């Protein structure tokens, strides 16, 4: 039902500027997650049991997950699985709450099915998220699918103090999250992506692993990294015993964009797919089965997911296509995968 009304709903949502629409939708979802979730689960449905799988140390309900950035503060966690997502990633949160960059900072490009954003990790901080996660756990409303927490560096923290900043967030949320993602790949925090270099990255990952206990830790990379650099991160991740790698974040490139609004920030959605697909392959090849890879970037249909799973990804995530295709997308993709008999058992 939610999705039958999607063309009209989309017209209403797209009549607002991107961030206002985002905030109002999240406001609604956090105010009435039960009612809207009930309606959604009636019409969307969970992934078929054959699609469930073990991946990076957790049991996914299905291979298609919600990518980080949509629910940064984890205000609508119980709602996302009702859309049929197999797992959910909230964040990025930082050790210090911060407002992010001046608005406007999120731009829809409907002609290209793309988004440019320079949000700059606007978030209420990892402590506030920890309080929310604990309340969910204690009230028994924790979803049946895994919920990961994506952590990043606070803007006010100098780059050379980054390990401590990540450590603080990891300490707060590790025992509450089903997995942690270390985000060193947003283009919107000055210098952040330099932290993908081996030296700084090793210090950050070591600090996070020291706090993580049994909680799996993944690292998320930028598609703008050269293949050699991706291979180096894969080796480091294997050496340190990370649970997996997420490729990719948004790109600073504008390749494939036909309607360039001339705004700075990271590009996501359909134009990102060719680059993301290539970088995912680099990660898969470098890993050679040693490290689970989660594919993300421009995914909007089941054929892409099937392609990535066959190539060796353990799971995928999406964000931008949910905005353009509507809330029925994750369950539609899962249904199509089940129809194609792409089951957990078929996968590496
Ligand atoms: C508005 C917006 C905000 C985002 N914020 C985050 C974030 O906070 N942390 C993160 O790791 N990725 C963030 N991302 C990146 C997505 O998680 C994803 O990696 C990227 O958009 C590519 O996937 P997509 O093409 O399916 O959107 C954001 C993306 C968008 C569009």
Choice among 183-187, 214-218, 240-244 with the minimum mean pLDDT: 183-187
pLDDT in tens, 105-150: 999 999 999 999 999 999 999 999 999 999 999 999 999 999 999 9
Better-predicted residue by pLDDT, 4 or 215: 215
| Residue 168 included in any domain | yes
Establish whether 186 is a catalytic residue.
Answer: yes
Distances (CA, A) of 70 to 56, 138, 259, 302, 347: 22, 24, 23, 21, 28
Q: Which domain holds residue 224?
A: 6-346
Output b/e per residue, 42-74; b: 16+ Cβ within 10 A.
ebbbbbeeebbbebbbbebbbbbbbbbbbbbbb
Better-predicted residue by pLDDT, 72 or 9: 72
- Among 219, 279, 223, smallest CA distance to 243 is for 219
Would you tell me how many other CB atoms lie within 10 Å of the CB of residue 39?
14
| Residue 137 included in any domain | yes
- Among 189, 215, 193, smallest CA distance to 204 is for 193
| Residue 303 included in any domain | yes
- Tokens in use for 191? 């210098």
Q: What is the DSSP letter of 301?
A: S
CA-nearest residue for atom 5, ligand 1, is 69
Distance 319 CA to ligand 1 centre (A): 6
Residue 171 CA to residue 83 CA, distance in Å, equals: 30
Task: Identify the three-state secondary structure at position 219.
Answer: strand
**What is the pairing mode between strands 266-269 and 114-117?**
antiparallel
| Residue 131 included in any domain | yes
* pLDDT tier at 31, thresholds 50, 70, 90: confident
Residue 301 CA to residue 298 CA, distance in Å, equals: 9
Q: Which atom of ligand 1 is nearest to the CA of 18?
A: 1
pLDDT in tens, 222-252: 999 999 999 999 999 999 999 999 999 999 9
In sequence order, the β-bridge partners of residue 64 are 316
Give the number of domains in the chain.
Answer: 1
pLDDT in tens, 203-214: 999 999 999 999
| Burial of residue 240 (number of CB atoms within 10 Å: 0-12, 13-18, 19+) | middle
Residue 218 CA to residue 181 CA, distance in Å, equals: 5
Best residue among 64, 115, 225, 250 to mutate for probing ligand 1, ranked by most atoms within 8 Å of CB: 250
pLDDT in tens, 191-202: 777 787 888 999
pLDDT in tens, 52-111: 999 999 999 999 999 999 999 999 999 999 999 999 999 999 999 999 999 999 999 999
- Among 278, 264, 89, smallest CA distance to 187 is for 264
pLDDT at residue 191, rounded to an integer: 77
Q: Which residue in 185, 186, 320, 321 is the catalytic one?
A: 186
- Tokens in use for 299? 């995914």
* pLDDT tier at 39, thresholds 50, 70, 90: low
Distance 248 CA to ligand 1 centre (A): 9
Residue 120 CA to residue 101 CA, distance in Å, equals: 5
Pocket of ligand 1 (CB under 6 A): 67-69, 72, 92, 106, 115, 117, 119, 121, 150, 183, 186, 220, 249-250, 268-269, 272, 296-299, 318-321
Residue 179 in contact with residue 56, Cβ under 8 Å? yes
Q: What is the DSSP letter of 101?
A: S
CATH number at residue 273: 3.20.20.70
| Residue 1 included in any domain | no
Q: What is the average pLDDT value for the chain, to the nearest integer?
A: 92
pLDDT at residue 36, rounded to an integer: 67
pLDDT surpasses 60 at 1? no
| Residue 304 included in any domain | yes
Triad 150, 141, 50: Cα angle to 5°: 75
Q: Find how far residue 242's CA is from the centre of its chain.
A: 17
């Amino acid at each position: 039902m939610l999705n039958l009304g999607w063309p009209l709903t989309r017209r209403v949502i797209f009549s607002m500027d991107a961030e206002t629409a985002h905030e109002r939708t999240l406001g609604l979802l956090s105010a009435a997650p039960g009612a809207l979730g009930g309606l959604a689960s009636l019409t969307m449905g969970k992934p078929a049991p054959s699609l469930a799988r073990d991946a990076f140390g957790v049991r996914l309900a299905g291979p298609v997950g919600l990518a980080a950035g949509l629910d940064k503060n984890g205000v609508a966690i119980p709602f996302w699985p009702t859309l049929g997502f197999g797992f959910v990633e909230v964040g990025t949160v930082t050790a210090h709450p911060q407002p992010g960059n001046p608005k406007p900072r999120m731009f829809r490009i409907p002609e290209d099915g793309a988004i440019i954003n320079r949000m700059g990790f606007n978030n209420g901080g990892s402590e506030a998220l920890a309080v929310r996660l604990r309340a969910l756990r204690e009230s028994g409303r924790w979803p049946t699918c895994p919920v990961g927490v994506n952590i990043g560096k606070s803007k006010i923290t100098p780059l050379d103090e980054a390990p401590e900043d990540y450590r603080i967030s990891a300490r707060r949320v590790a025992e509450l999250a089903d997995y942690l993602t270390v985000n060193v790949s947003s283009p919107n925090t000055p210098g952040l992506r330099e932290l993908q270099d081996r030296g700084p990255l090793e210090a950050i990952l070591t600090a996070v692993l020291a706090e993580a206990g049994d909680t799996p830790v993944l690292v998320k990379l930028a598609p703008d990294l050269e293949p050699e650099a991706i291979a180096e991160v894969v080796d480091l991740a294997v050496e340190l015993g990370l649970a997996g790698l997420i490729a990719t974040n948004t790109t600073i490139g504008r390749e494939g964009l036909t309607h360039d609004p001339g705004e700075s920030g990271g590009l996501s959605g359909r134009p990102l797919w060719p680059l993301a697909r290539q970088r995912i392959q680099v990660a898969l090849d470098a890993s050679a089965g040693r490290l689970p890879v989660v594919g993300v970037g421009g995914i909007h249909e089941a054929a892409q997911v099937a392609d990535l799973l066959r190539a060796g990804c353990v799971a995928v995530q999406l964000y931008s296509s949910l905005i353009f295709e509507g809330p029925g997308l994750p369950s539609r993709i899962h249904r199509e995968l089940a129809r194609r008999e792409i089951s957990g058992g078929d996968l590496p």
